[in-house]
Amino acid sequence: MNLDQQILSNPIKSYLIILGILLVTFIIKRLISRFFASLIYTWIDKKNHSELRKTHVHRLVVPIERFLIFMVAIVAFYELKFPEAWNLHLYKISLQVAMESAVKLVFIILLIRVCLRTLEFIAIILEEKAKLSKDQTDDQLILFFRDFFKVILYIVGVLMVLHYVFNENIGNLVTSLSIVGAAVALSMRESLENIIASFIIFFDKPFTVGDLVKVNAFTGTIEKIGLRSTRIRTESKTYISVPNKQMVDTIVDNISLRTERKIEMDLQISIDTSAQALSAFAQHLRETTNAIKDIKSATVFISESGKQFHAIHVECFVPLYVEIAGFQMLREELNLAAISYANEQGIKFAEKG
């Protein structure tokens, strides 16, 4: 066989060299892709757990293999001359230019796919590490930035396609996009404010995932903090979404950060009750609250006397180690103690408050 014989404007020897390069690449692609995946894993996780490595490394191997084969094929075929017989034009575009644009498009798609898989790969490893800690903030932060950088990669991919495939001037395009972006920003002002508010929440940390909060008329547990809204599981087990801007601008009561729970009572006593009876009633409530071990501090005083009723105000603080059920039982115990004393002493409660 004459290796210098020309086929499609190229010698047979060139085709054999390219075939050999592709064959070698196909054989070692798995080894190279596993090496790079393991290198990234080791860089992220210094402890290098073997079980986690086996579980996650395969996620990145296939995209790297495809990108590697395609990149080597491009470099190899670049050494060949474009056949004269294929020098055709379609709508003023030559077949060579069309094929080059198609190759660039596939290359960009594979590159962005590898970047996306690498991002997901890193996020999964960091999630596994974050699960080892009790704080759930880092878990949510990883998901937040994973989604954020995905959007950035998609934008970069689109710009690369416009520049390298369609030969658009990125500078002029970015200028045009900035004008359009300004108009879009005005129309999407609330969405942008929510995104900015999400960054404030993550870095200022007024609350984190797992905290029990009260927002406006809703009380519930934070389950997710997203780019636009915060998801809350309410006490009635409904699932609501609150815009992040509202979570930043309004008063959020982080119940999980309270040091104590408060019991507050206002007893409205009949206007016919004497001062001595009121004083004795207040003293009895002081002794009752002081005798309950789970009440750490209590205040009892006659807060009001008027034409319709007299009022005895009771404030008690209970430590957080007392569960909600126990807290409600303490509230019930105090109410029953007040009712029992009033019945024993013939003290009447006001009919109208």
SS3 306: coil
Quick one: 267 exposed, middle or buried, by C-beta within 10 A (0-12, 13-18, 19+)? Answer: buried
Neighbours of 209 (CB within 10 A): 19
Cα separation of 40 and 34, whole Å? Answer: 10
- In a 13 Å sphere around the CA of 292, the CA atoms on its Cβ side amount to 24
CA distance 225 to 138: 11
Positive/negative CA dihedral, 322, 326, 332, 338: negative
Mean pLDDT of 100-126: 86
pLDDT for 220: 92
151-193 pLDDT, tens digit per residue, is 889 988 988 888 888 887 776 666 666 666 666 555 566 777 8
40-49 per-position pLDDT tens digit:
767 766 665 5
| Nearest CA among 75, 146, 161, 39 for reference residue 112 | 161
Tokens of 54: 């086996």
Of the two residues 214 and 135, the one the predictor is more confident about is 214
pLDDT at 201 over 70: yes
284-333 pLDDT tens trace: 999 999 998 889 889 999 988 877 899 999 999 998 888 888 989 999 99
E-strand ranges in the chain read 6-7, 10-11, 89-90, 93-94, 212-215, 218-225, 229-234, 239-243, 252-254, 260-270, 297-305, 309-319
The predicted structure's pLDDT at residue 84: 67
Averaged pLDDT for residues 4-10: 69
C-alpha distances out from residue 274 to 224, 267, 309, Å = 56, 15, 12
State how far the alpha carbon of 293 is from the alpha carbons of 99, 215, 314, 333, in Å.
Answer: 83, 32, 17, 13
Tell me the pairing of strands 6-7 and 239-243: unpaired
The average pLDDT across 256-285 equals 91
